[in-house]
Structure 1
């Protein structure tokens, strides 16, 4: 692998320019400027409270370390990066309000963050209107592309393309899908149906429930009645824990059932360890990647936040994703959102997520490497198979 964080292509960036940051904790300066000496300001919209707050905090922590990395190496365009963190509580209306405030009052040149697909869509609309780039680190995509929105997380196809055929070969051809009732899980089901059909299987049940569900017994009863061989779940937040525990309690989740989806993410391991140990899972990043830059990030994260559990995948996406964004800002030589957005679409970037990663112009999804991990007792998400680049250049409305 080339040296991490090297700008590939015309105009190679120095290591100091590409990697920098010392946490500039939230004081923002209003207004934007194209003056290269003007500090770049980033707005982070993230749920620090509410049902997905644990994942939101991991995203914030990794974002702050990513900015610190860049600032420690000199910042962007000779100035330290500034940022403002706001808590949207996982509510799309709040996400919209706060994103507008960040742009209009705090004068940010780019936006980053959110966890659920509906809050990401809310911020993306604001970003489009304001013509400032917005980066997400969450897994999945909502099936719609926006000119100023860029997804650093694993897309649905990147997740399911290697996962579905392996599950069907091992467990059987009948697949059930369950998810939280918002845009991304529905898109996940649509893609899953395509992948299952391509692998020679069939979807025998599909269930969606609003976030905050506590009694899953009726849903589990219907899923169990379909007698699936494989269960794909995109139930998120604290609901992922309650659903999985009740699925075990009421006899749906057994060792003989193929099981994959959000509850296998490392975020949930402390609560679900007994239910996921020994299973395999497809991810973009794990804290067990044997790469110097990844190992250094893991060590810094554990020291800074006194964290000793398996690190959430979103942390790696956020840490390396914000560095990608800031490298594009360095290349743009400006704090103008439109200029930075153009450079994001042109940039090719090396990191533990892969060599020469770049975005597909057809859908603004990062074309990066994927790995299969085996979940070991104690929370080690060990790499069992390097999948390489799992491309997803499927055109989506808005950018195709």
Structure 2
């Protein structure tokens, strides 16, 4: 991990990026001399650097995932700058900590746009913070990319998701899991908008696979006592549990599900707790299980191997690399490729270019965003979690489509 000594203490929610990527920003929110400076329009300089405002929870219950996202972005920017930048322009970024609070996310997004003059926004983890930043991005007409799995219930014209959508995660997984484990399915999640959206899609796909959702349970972020939830799920006698418990809750729920007799080798188990982020804490409980992801450090293509090697070297990383780090790395490279096509740092021009951009890479041949929902049409992988933290790719699902129309985009 990056030593804390390389980070400036955040003031008013902002900290400087810790790596040695060029960061010659004109006015830093963390500097007292800039407080109260006049804002002379939201647009960045037409001939200036490409600036990315990165909004992630570096503190709070999902900080582990936020840190992984930031790490992936840092390496992407470093790589692009080493290759000459975007049309000869360097890429700069500013990292802000929203602590997973939508009110913070809103305020910080506005500051990044108005004071830092960013070309792009990137980040957030939970669905409610993504929704908050999406609204600000639309109002200011500044593109906003996300890397975390899942999607919002409606589409923002300026928001683009590089994480796997709910349908892309569940469409390859649910039929196989129902066939293997049985038709009685329970869904459990952290209690905010995205896990509830996930549960709705899961119920639809379970029904199509001939199964039935026999329990739905949600608990607030930061829950420490899952015993009552575990007992209610167990009473429904499921064959399979789909879990969208996130952050520290993913670990706590899984451990208590095993402790109180719900999670056994015979029970099917899939969802966020199987992500690489949580392997070090849950190794014995997830090994041997299949898991569907967009990217894995078990991918053997040359770009993935180069990224994996760079990540392990930069952060002295021995554990499995979190999927969100890969999504962020390849997502930022996609966005900056679109910016290069636009030939401009104007956010409107970049946003238009993102919608038209096509890319061949580790996420698939001809990856692109669908215009009706801004979901990346990309490959998915089924991995098997092995001893020692290997996430071996066992099946590649080419171009798993999600063309579900959503309100807000054409």
Q: Cα deviation per residue 1:78-113 (whole Å; 9 max; x = unaligned)?
A: 111111110111111111111010001111111000
TM alignment of 1:193-208, pairs within 5 A: 193-208=203-218
Whole-Å Cα distance in 2 between the matches of residues 173 and 278 of structure 1? 21
Q: Cα deviation per residue 1:265-294 (whole Å; 9 max; x = unaligned)?
A: 000000000000000000010011011111
Whole-Å Cα distance in 1 between the matches of residues 250 and 91 of structure 2? 36
Whole-Å Cα distance in 2 between the matches of residues 112 and 371 of structure 1? 24
Q: Secondary structure at the match of 2:232?
A: helix
Decide whether the 8 Å contact of 1:273 with 1:379 is kept in 2.
yes
Q: Quick check: 1:295 aligned with 2:293?
A: no
Match of 2:394 among 370, 374, 384: 384
Whole-Å Cα distance in 2 between the matches of residues 245 and 124 of structure 1? 34
Whole-Å Cα distance in 1 between the matches of residues 154 and 44 of structure 2? 31
Whole-Å Cα distance in 1 between the matches of residues 45 and 80 of structure 2? 20
Decide whether the 8 Å contact of 2:372 with 2:404 is kept in 1.
yes
Specify the alignment match of 1:338 in structure 2: 348
Q: Quick check: 1:397 aligned with 2:407?
A: yes
Question: Number of aligned pairs?
Answer: 379
Specify the alignment match of 2:188 in structure 1: 178
Q: Give the superposition deviation at 1:162.
A: 0.8
Q: 1:257 to 1:25 in 2, by over 3 A?
A: farther
Specify the alignment match of 2:331 in structure 1: 321
Match of 1:106 among 109, 116, 130: 116
Q: Secondary structure at the match of 2:252?
A: helix
Q: Give the superposition deviation at 1:34.
A: 5.9
Specify the alignment match of 1:16 in structure 2: none
Under a length normalisation based on structure 1, what TM-score does the superposition of the two structures give? 0.93
Whole-Å Cα distance in 2 between the matches of residues 158 and 48 of structure 1? 27
Specify the alignment match of 1:124 in structure 2: 134
Decide whether the 8 Å contact of 1:267 with 1:310 is kept in 2.
yes
Specify the alignment match of 2:22 in structure 1: 24
Q: 1:28 to 1:380 in 2, by over 3 A?
A: farther
Decide whether the 8 Å contact of 1:363 with 1:399 is kept in 2.
yes
Q: Give the superposition deviation at 1:27.
A: 3.2
Match of 1:213 among 214, 223, 235: 223
Moved over 6 A (4+): none
Q: Secondary structure at the match of 1:176?
A: strand
Structure 2 alignment gaps of length 5 or more: 1-18, 28-38
Whole-Å Cα distance in 1 between the matches of residues 251 and 25 of structure 2? 36
Match of 1:43 among 37, 53, 70: 53
Under a length normalisation based on structure 2, what TM-score does the superposition of the two structures give? 0.90
Q: Secondary structure at the match of 1:303?
A: helix
Q: Quick check: 1:279 aligned with 2:289?
A: yes
After superposing the two structures, state which structure 1 stretch, 186-195 or 77-86, moved more. 77-86
TM alignment of 1:126-205, pairs within 5 A: 126-205=136-215
Q: Give the superposition deviation at 1:142.
A: 1.9
Q: Give the superposition deviation at 1:331.
A: 1.1
**Larger relative contact order (C-alpha < 8 A, sep ≥ 6)?**
1
Whole-Å Cα distance in 2 between the matches of residues 340 and 235 of structure 1? 35
Q: Secondary structure at the match of 2:242?
A: strand
Specify the alignment match of 1:3 in structure 2: none
Decide whether the 8 Å contact of 1:26 with 1:85 is kept in 2.
no
